[in-house]
Amino acid sequence: MSSRESILGAIRAITQEKKNLPELPSFGISEEIETAFKKSIEGNKGEILSEIEFLDWLSKSSWANVFSAVSAYATASTLELPQDPHELEDLNLAILEGQFGVAENGAIWLDDRQLPHRALPFITEHLVIVLRKSRLFPTLHQAYENIGDEHSGFGLFIAGPSKTADIEQSLVIGAHGAKSLRVVMI
């Protein structure tokens, strides 16, 4: 027997007692879930709007290139969704539907069901996400449990407009994606 086989045999002979994973404590939030979510979104430089406020804002805006993946706001679209996402380079406003939100950090889950092109939340200049109040979770742990075993080829959490402070430690909004995020709570 070679020394390699001898070492591997000794390692295989080691018995380990099975241990259960530790229980995670139930982290919570100390305030009402909608209030905590709103504070988190605003802390991430986003904005919360009611449906009435959103419709008023939308009617006063003059966006050249708008795409809505939300059927309730399909009339806001000024362009058809192209096959090639590169053709969205001049997209001013994208309106998408969030699957659920997380109160503790303002993250909103989007996956392939809400994204006709994965590039939409990143390529648009401004982003609106429509989210049901009933689909808020207090913590990210609970949100991950909700994702569970659902099949999706792609999913992401968005928690505000794109921002970075890498360059000279100066905050830049819209550095890698949308310059603004508005969340319409319905």
CATH number for 39: 3.40.50.10420
| CA Rg value for the chain | 22
Q: Are 184 and 54 in contact (CB under 8 A)?
A: yes
pLDDT, one tens digit per residue, over 6-31 is 998 889 889 888 888 777 777 777 78
pLDDT, one tens digit per residue, over 132-142 is 999 999 998 88
In this prediction, residue 181 carries a pLDDT of 93
* Residue 82 maps to a domain: yes
pLDDT, one tens digit per residue, over 40-81 is 999 998 999 999 999 999 988 888 899 999 999 999 989 888
pTM as predicted: 0.80
Q: Do strands 172-173 and 155-158 pair parallel, antiparallel, or not at all (unpaired)?
A: unpaired
With CA atoms as reference, report the closest residue to 129 among 110, 156, 113.
110
In this prediction, residue 72 carries a pLDDT of 94
* Residue 88 maps to a domain: yes
* Residue 172 maps to a domain: yes
pLDDT, one tens digit per residue, over 86-126 is 888 899 999 999 999 999 999 999 988 878 888 899 889 99
* Residue 11 maps to a domain: no
* Residue 17 maps to a domain: no
In this prediction, residue 148 carries a pLDDT of 67
Q: Please, what is the end-to-end C-alpha distance for the chain in angstroms?
A: 70
Q: Are 117 and 81 in contact (CB under 8 A)?
A: yes
Q: How many distinct structural domains can be found in the chain?
A: 1
CA-to-CA dists, residue 12 to 3, 15, 68, 78, angstroms = 14, 8, 58, 65
In which domain, by residue range, is 57 found? Answer: 31-185
Q: pLDDT-derived band of residue 149, with 50, 70 and 90 as boundaries?
A: low
* Residue 117 maps to a domain: yes
